[in-house]
Amino acid sequence: MNLAERDSWIAYVGWADNNGSIWGQYNRLVDYLFESYPTTKRRFDEISIPFLHTISHGIELGLKENINFFMEYAQTVSLTNFERLVDLEKSHELDKLADEFKIYYYRLHKQLGLDKDEKLEFTKYYDFLIDLIEILDRSAETYRYATKIDKDGNILKASIDRQKKIDFLQVKVLYEKVNILLIGAPNSIGRFTDFIDYQRANPKYSGGKGFLYCQRLHYTDWFHKQLIIDLDEKFTKVKDNLWFDPDTRENYEIQILKDDMYIIAVDPRTR
């Protein structure tokens, strides 16, 4: 074993200091097992319980991260399935978390004036999430302990029905769809939430229409110059730092804030 190989065994676990990072690790583990375990020719029975726990907890983290993200931008911040935010954070009930996730997405969809197609796309993938949650049928104890007990240690019931059977190929297909939903939902509104971030950081800015041409871009001097060239070629240049898109009939300008660039849709009458 050489030094590089030996070093790969060292994990800097303290670097995963937020739930988004931990969610990413759960996703990588699930992807790895679905890709690699079938090559062993062994049955999924041998790893089914901890694997289902990993899948379930990954979805739980993804839902909570999305809800927290949506709450940053929603004008109405109230919970439907939980009395307090801490109750949501402590919950393992995927059905309630999924419903809260949907409610907040719909709120933002209406608030930001998104088009109907984006909502239809969300709904299509949300249905895959519900299908997977129904298969997992997971509570706080499921896939962690064999039984559910009361506060005195008395067994209330088995955590998993003895006749329960799960098709892991079906779970794999659904999990991939759910991942598209959980990663794609916040990105689908990123042009709008990035504008909100810019406006909050620069409250004196005016004339923006509430969205960007694309999500924010990392600023470098070279990239900024190249971006101007690209916009000159793609759109009609109205004047310095103002372009007209003949397809959407929108006007755009570039604004730079710290290490980011924003291609902002603007009202040309203000420029």
* Residue 150, pLDDT above cutoff 80: no
- For residue 140, the model assigns a pLDDT of 64
Q: What is the mean pLDDT of residues 2-14?
A: 93
- For residue 249, the model assigns a pLDDT of 96
∠ at Cα 165 (160, 166), nearest 5°?
A: 105
**Stronger pLDDT, 16 or 127, i.e. the higher one:** 127
pLDDT tens, 19-34?
A: 999 999 999 999 999 9
Tokens of 138: 């997971």
> What amino acid occupies position 244?
F
**Stronger pLDDT, 153 or 262, i.e. the higher one:** 262
> What amino acid occupies position 197?
D
Q: How many whole angstroms separate alpha carbon 242 and alpha carbon 149? A: 66
**Stronger pLDDT, 224 or 164, i.e. the higher one:** 224
pTM, whole model, 2 decimals?
0.90
Q: Find the length of the chain.
A: 271
CB 103 within 8 A of CB 80: yes
Tell me what the pLDDT averaged over the chain comes to. Answer: 94
CB 160 within 8 A of CB 203: no
The domains of the chain are located at 3-188, 193-270
Q: What is the mean pLDDT of residues 54-60?
A: 96
